[in-house]
Amino acid sequence: MAEPPVLYNINSSLADLMARMRTGVPGAHMGLVILLILLVAGFSLFIPNFASIGTLQSFMYQMPLLGLLSLAMMAPLITGGLNLAIIATTNQCALLMAFTMQSLIPPASGTGTAIAVIALALVAGLVLCLLIGFVTGLLIAYTGVHPILITLGTKSLIDGISIYLTRGMALSGIPDGFSRIGTTTMVGVPMIFLLLIVVAVIVSLILRRTAFGVACAMIGSNIEAARYSAIDTRRVLVGVYVMSSVICFFAALVMLATFNSASADYAQSYLLVTILAAVLGGVDPFGGFGTAGGLMLALAILQVISSGFNQFGLSNYLTVAIWGGILIFVAMVQTARPYLMGLLPTRFLGPK
């Protein structure tokens, strides 16, 4: 007797999710666009040449690493989870690739040897990320332990191993051919920025246009309803953390090409900002919804704010404190949104 209401809720939830995924919440994205324009205009009043081609190019060099890490964070968030190991995974992957290149490329080697070793390093890094994501996903899916605890433990484990093996030292000796990835441009656009756009588009298509993406949203919205809908939730969760780790591989590639070295302590301060970018971009902190487009707009907003603060001479430590305050505020607004939307007249909400 209890089954019909459950099935009704499942169908209703699935219909709502599909509608949200098709629309992409354009109103929320428009709000982010307006905020971005206002911020650029505001900083331009006080900072000469802030709205210039040079500033835009600087943004395109600075955004790829944080953008890829934020995409790696977004996928687990949509399922109602969290991946605190993205920075550790990225650093470990970069260290392995740097060690492979440093060890196997002789000083006087030819171009062919260098290309072969670089290819081997990339394969090794990708396999490592796949392994980390697979093991993490298995632990989360089959033990029932909360993702925060699993990924925090994974982060500590990876960081400890990385620091022990490298003695806390950075690895350099990256071949020039690989380092050029960080400086090469196409029609004035950095290659690493184009890589970010390509990965963002692929992630968006996976999450919005595939059965896997619908399953991720269903799990984040109501995991019990997802199970009643014959979704293999364990398999999907493993896939989500594998996807997150694969994105970390691309982040490691960008990190290595940009810094020309690898270390266990790079980008540690980015973890907070990746969560902030995801939530500010419209990812539901409780799971169930999120778009790569909203995330990219949020990244642009945070990049503008960060650049403006730096040019005003604001301390980096104070900037981190501001990020924390913004995250708390945005999370509170996201949590209260259903209640606030219920207070608005129907004519302001648009079609359901």
For residue 294, give its domain range. Answer: 24-43+51-336
Question: Tell me: the pLDDT tens digits for 303-333?
Answer: 998 888 888 888 777 888 888 888 888 888 7
Q: Is the pLDDT of residue 63 over 70?
A: yes
Q: Is the pLDDT of residue 5 over 60?
A: no
Q: Give domain status of residue 344, yes or no.
A: no
Q: Is the pLDDT of residue 254 over 90?
A: yes
Q: At what angle do helices 26-46 and 292-311 cross, to 10 degrees?
A: 10
Per the model's pLDDT, the better-predicted residue between 76 and 339 turns out to be 76
Q: Is the pLDDT of residue 107 over 90?
A: no
Q: Give the residue carrying structure tokens 């984040």.
A: 220
- What is residue 11's predicted lDDT score, i.e. its pLDDT? 47
Q: Is the pLDDT of residue 4 over 80?
A: no
- What is residue 339's predicted lDDT score, i.e. its pLDDT? 66
- What is residue 343's predicted lDDT score, i.e. its pLDDT? 57
- What is residue 204's predicted lDDT score, i.e. its pLDDT? 92
- Mean pLDDT in residue range 98-108: 76
- Mean pLDDT in residue range 338-344: 59
- What is residue 335's predicted lDDT score, i.e. its pLDDT? 74
Of all helices (H) and strands (E), which one includes residue 157?
helix 147-166
Q: What is the number of structural domains in the chain?
A: 1
Q: Give domain status of residue 86, yes or no.
A: yes
Q: Is the pLDDT of residue 155 over 70?
A: yes
**How far does CA 253 lie from the centroid of its chain?**
15
Q: Give domain status of residue 177, yes or no.
A: yes
Q: Is the pLDDT of residue 202 over 90?
A: yes
Q: Give domain status of residue 145, yes or no.
A: yes
Instruction: Using the CB atoms, write b or e for 38-57: b if 16+ within 10 Å.
Output: ebbeebeeeeeebeeeebee
**Which candidate, 246, 245, 240, places its Cα nearest to that of 214?**
240
Q: Give the residue carrying structure tokens 């305050």.
A: 325
Per the model's pLDDT, the better-predicted residue between 138 and 336 turns out to be 138
Q: What are phi and psi of 262, to 5 degrees?
A: -135, 145
Q: How confident is the model at residue 141 (pLDDT cuts 50, 70, 90)?
A: very high
- What is residue 111's predicted lDDT score, i.e. its pLDDT? 65
Cβ-contact 270, 256 below 8 angstroms: no
**Average predicted confidence (pLDDT) for the chain:** 83
- Mean pLDDT in residue range 272-284: 88
Which of 155-159, 207-211, 331-335 is most confident? 155-159
- Measured in Å, how far apart are the chain's first and last C-alpha atoms? 30
- What is residue 1's predicted lDDT score, i.e. its pLDDT? 42
Which of 130-134, 141-145, 307-311 is least confident? Answer: 307-311
- What is residue 67's predicted lDDT score, i.e. its pLDDT? 94
Distance separating alpha carbons of residues 239 and 75, to the nearest angstrom? 10
Which of 67-76, 82-91, 219-228 is least confident? Answer: 219-228
C-alpha dihedral, 231 to 234 to 240 to 246, nearest 10°: -130
Q: Give domain status of residue 175, yes or no.
A: yes
Q: Give domain status of residue 15, yes or no.
A: no
CA atoms within 13 A on the CB side of 59: 20
Q: Is the pLDDT of residue 248 over 60?
A: yes
Per the model's pLDDT, the better-predicted residue between 328 and 250 turns out to be 250
Say which CATH number the domain at 156 has: 1.10.3470
Q: Give domain status of residue 5, yes or no.
A: no
Q: Give domain status of residue 215, yes or no.
A: yes
